[in-house]
Chains A and B, each alone.
Chain A
């Protein structure tokens, strides 16, 4: 079994941003993503869950270079206006050509 190194980029954001972020990460080179409804508690006084509907957690598996581009773009475009967090972590994948 051959495992290849990739990164998981995880973005937790207000649900109104779903389409916008998903389109953006595809533009930046991701080949796919998974969206999960979520809820939780953050450091900001302003709760992202204020608008009816839960938060979303978007995950995408990408190469290191793409992951960095995504983190950079998300932080520049969304951090100052919305409740959103974003991080990357290591993972090992099968079928590396998919990512």
Chain B
């Protein structure tokens, strides 16, 4: 499949189009909105489903199979925030707090980008005979990548800027590790790995991420994401040309690193694309409150606009199929 084909597959998926509808509706000032409770409910469902299914698959995987990809993921969680920080601080000449605040967002993961990448890759696999199936334990990697990035970037910020936020580091770590996302994801992984296949079948028609319920609800979730993104687009002016370019380039750099590391760890092509999409994404749920608490001097307009209005739509519309092509080239090149 060529780049243009992959892009078309992604563009005509109901998931991407729902996102575009949200963007469009807000741009023309429609009253359309998804109630906050519905949005929160769907995000709970999506994360819990991912966790459960990931857990069921995890129980069947060999430890030796998952050990290297898991290690690669943690390594990636350490590299991306440091690299992001260095670029922002040295090339962008941003303040310590702003650089570290943005690095915390890019170090962590956007779970929705992960889900979109997983759906896209599964779709491509089903259309490409002979392509290896996606590793079932990918949600485990998502959970592993969630926290090191935030923690490292915040630590850089706190140690370099002297002025400490209001919260102790222990309290902050507690908050990141016990967040909603982590509880649902890790809780789901544990429950999923305990229940076994028989019990999973009892609930799989509801929770299976390959099923219609999951994908249908994901569309509504992305509709809301489109609306939220559109409300931020007006902030482009506030962040300036350097940061806009940064928000479009750093995902590709981080994805490139992820593809190399993922390939060495033994991930399949599909798994590698999902890992690359995770590395390319910026968290906008867990990271903003953590950064606000710890690095109050960092300007929220910068990190929120970058994560939500630039990098997220870029990944959803163009990034994910692009990483697929990057990974394919790399796999062909190194085999």
Contacts and interface: CB of A to CB of B under 8 A. Distances in A.
B265 interface: no
B299 interface: yes
A51 B296 contact: no
Interface in B184-226: none
A81 B292 CA distance: 9
A46 B296 contact: no
Given A14-B292, A16-B292, A51 B300 contact: yes
B304 interface: yes
Nearest to A51: B288
B166 A78 contact: yes
A95 B59 CA distance: 60
Interface residues on A, range: 10 to 19
Given A20-B166, A46-B301, A50-B304, A81 B288 contact: no
Nearest to B308: A52
Contacts of B288: 51-52
A87 interface: no
Interface string A38-55: 000000001000111100
A51 B166 contact: no
A77 interface: yes
A51 B300 CA distance: 7
A46 B293 contact: no
Contacts of A52: 228, 284-285, 288
B302 to A, nearest CB: 10
Contact of A81 (B284, B289, B296, B299): B296
A81 B167 CA distance: 13
Contacts of B325: none
A53 B292 CA distance: 13
Contacts of B293: 16-17, 20
Given A20-B167, A78-B166, A51 B289 contact: yes
A50 B292 CA distance: 10
25 contacts: A14-B292, A16-B289, A17-B166, A17-B293, A20-B166, A46-B299, A46-B300, A46-B301, A50-B300, A50-B301, A50-B304, A51-B288, A51-B289, A51-B300, A51-B304, A52-B228, A52-B285, A52-B288, A53-B289, A77-B166, A81-B165, A81-B166, A81-B296, A82-B292, A82-B296
Interface of B: 165-167, 228, 284-285, 288-289, 292-293, 296-297, 299-301, 304
9 closest A-B pairs by beta carbon, nearest first, are A81-B296, A50-B300, A16-B289, A51-B288, A16-B292, A20-B166, A16-B293, A82-B296, A51-B292
